[in-house]
Amino acid sequence: MLEVVGQYTQLKKAGANYMARCPFHEEKTPSFSVNPVEKLYYCFGCGAGGDLLSFVEKKENLDFAQAVEALADRFGVRLDYEETSVRADADRKRRDRQLKVLEQACRYYERVLWETRAAQAARDYLTGRGLAEAVCRQYRLGFSRPGWAHLRDAAAKKGFSERELTDAGLVVPGKKGGVYDRFRGRLMFPLADERGRVRGFGARTLGDDKPKYLNSPETTLYHKSEALFGLDQAKASAAKEDRLFVVEGYTDVIALVQAGVTNVVASMGTAFTEEQLTRLKRHTHNLFLCFDADAAGVGAMSRALELAKRHGLTVRVVRIPDGLDPADFVLSGQDGEAFRLLAGQAQSLLQFQIHTELASHDLQTVDGRTRAFAVLRGILAQAASPIERDEQVRYVADRLQLSEDNVRFLLSDEASAGVRRAALVGGAAGGGARQRPAARRTAEERVLMGTHGLEVKFLAACLALPEPGRDYLLAIDEEFFSSAPSRGAYLACVARLGASGAGNSGAGKTDERHGKARGGHGSGGDADGGTSDAANDGIGGAASDAANDGTMAEVVVRAAADPFTPIVLQELFLRVQEAHVGRLIARLKVAATRDDSEDEARLIELESTRRQIREELRVLPVEE
């Protein structure tokens, strides 16, 4: 009882019983008790209890018969089966034969590696990597001879048929009949289950053969999505430390174990799966990912972190310096203690995602910082706690060269409320679905459109110079802006500066002088100011697209970065009005399909207004 339970949690004697932290739920204070005489266990925290068989069933996710088989196999007890169906008996015998042939194949590959001249290159490779023979033997490494029938012939002498070899994934049917060895001239890594039973193999070429790594095919015993290298040897130390390191490759595991870090497994590549996570969850709820720092590794860690989050696991990321993988790190003069120090600095999910995102942008430019924040907003919203969020807000503010107040404002409901309101206006103005393609333009595309850049600079100048900026915002409304994201940013700036009188479409002075559209040439709303049913059809999509836009982030970043003066702000204010009037003029000209004296008069009025604005721009003083 103590030997089995001790694989999963560290037991300490307490009187006649033993106490430990419960292996079935997370806890800091031990409440799990084991009676070694009665061979019973009970957790005073979660209520789990039973005998040795029920413990194995729950922990290994086995049924009763499988638990009995697992214990019998572990302790060398021969089992007799009674009252089984013919089919079940045949399936069990076939499974047993597969396990036997895989075990024999593993022993054969081991002997070839250590006892034959044919494997000298493989031994040299391991020595060159700095991997000692003892640790390689511990993980049962082997070598498959070059040639087409070495394993097949050796297995035949042991009484295994070609069908059994095929079912175990050790040979491949030939085109002209017969079978040939699947693995030839490769370094062999056995893939075992938690009980140490070989289920399949991973094989690495020592030359230029493709693929570089070749795994067993899918069989009744081996499923690639579940495969983990080294879990059978890592589970005991995982129970003691209550954590597992997950690396990419076989040699990462072996090198770390050689350095004294024994609670480590390999996912065998970057495609970390939910099935692998389920296996790991039986042994610990604390995973430390140590994947390569290349694009594939970073993507794999992000996917693994999201999967683990759904399973309620605590996952952290160990960042290896200088782009090294774990094997290179510990084999380049470092040791297990140095690796554990790195693990002590491991990042949380939020930290990893934020650091990775910031590293992927040029933060020396306004556009780079703007694009980074557009992504970071969604990441920060997933913070596990307010404390963690506040900590990362400070970090983001420092990296983006913004004040904490500005970052918090950009994350606030207040900042996004203007964007959502502008999306509603945009939906009404464009007759519903026709507005949605414009709302879906990327921020990069709109930056290339001069009007967008002008509007962003004007709003940024208003924030940078809040006193005159507030007055300018009061003098216009959201219809002076060309897109839903820009209108949303305008309304957010209004809220930011407390310009409560702005954003009113009935602003009389501005309407009279600078040509706010009326009636059929206006916002497109109903006569009573409501929004038409047709417009409403497109509101939802536009609002969603606008709410995720990075325009307001760009405004705030520019406000902190660009050197605005009162004269520059005045010029931008006039140019925003000029652009607005120009759009109204263009709209009237396009709509003029018949003689309309009212439209003609309106056009003349707008042309006059534009001339006045241009004259004001001409006489602005020029700053040195």
Task: State pLDDT tens for residues 554-572.
Answer: 888 888 888 899 999 999 9
| Per-domain residue ranges of the chain | 2-75, 89-213, 231-347, 353-409, 412-618
Q: Note the pLDDT of residue 404.
A: 80
Q: Note the pLDDT of residue 594.
A: 55
Q: Note the pLDDT of residue 595.
A: 60
Residues of the chain with pLDDT > 90: what percent?
Answer: 39
Q: What would be the CATH architecture of the domain defined by 89-213?
A: Alpha-Beta Complex (3.90)
Q: Note the pLDDT of residue 413.
A: 59
Q: Note the pLDDT of residue 608.
A: 92
Band (308; pLDDT cuts 50, 70, 90): confident
pLDDT tens digit sequence for 477-510 = 989 998 888 888 899 899 888 866 555 443 333 4
Closest CA to 113 of 139, 74, 75, 92: 139
- What is the model's pTM? 0.65
Q: Note the pLDDT of residue 510.
A: 41
For the ranges 221-230, 384-393, 544-553, the lowest mean pLDDT is seen at 544-553
Q: What are phi and psi of 614, to 5 degrees?
A: -65, -35
Question: Residue 285, SS3?
Answer: coil
Please check the confidence at residue 419 and state whether its pLDDT lies above 90: no
Distance between CA 228 and CA 276 in Å, rounded? 7
Task: Report the 10 Å Cβ neighbour count for 134.
Answer: 8
N-to-C CA span, the chain: 86
| Mean pLDDT score, 539-561 | 61
Please check the confidence at residue 423 and state whether its pLDDT lies above 50: no
Question: Residue 536, SS3?
Answer: helix
For the ranges 141-155, 424-438, 467-481, the lowest mean pLDDT is seen at 424-438
- Beta strand pairing status for 171-173 and 40-43? unpaired
Residues of the chain with pLDDT > 70: what percent?
Answer: 81
Across 210-219, 277-286, 414-423, the highest mean pLDDT is recorded for 210-219
Longest Cα pair distance anywhere in the chain, in angstroms?
Answer: 104
Beta strands in 125-169 (DSSP E): 142-144
Q: Note the pLDDT of residue 223.
A: 93
Closest CA to 514 of 396, 414, 605: 605
Give me the residue label for tokens 């290159």.
Answer: 121
pLDDT tens digit sequence for 99-141 = 999 999 999 999 999 999 999 999 999 999 999 999 999 999 9
Q: Tell me the fold of 2-75.
A: DNA Primase; Chain A (3.90.580)
- Beta strand pairing status for 17-20 and 12-14? antiparallel
Contact status, residue 471 vs residue 575, Cβ threshold 8 Å: no
- Tell me the sheet residues that pair with 436: none
Please check the confidence at residue 576 and state whether its pLDDT lies above 90: yes
Task: Report the 10 Å Cβ neighbour count for 41.
Answer: 25
353-409, which class in CATH?
mainly alpha
Q: Count CA atoms within 13 Å of residue 590 on its CB side.
A: 7
- What's the mean pLDDT when you consider all of the chain? 81
Q: Note the pLDDT of residue 441.
A: 40
* The CATH number of the domain covering residues in 231-347: 3.40.1360.10
Please check the confidence at residue 593 and state whether its pLDDT lies above 80: no
pLDDT tens digit sequence for 154-202 = 999 999 999 999 999 999 999 988 999 999 999 999 999 988 999 999 9
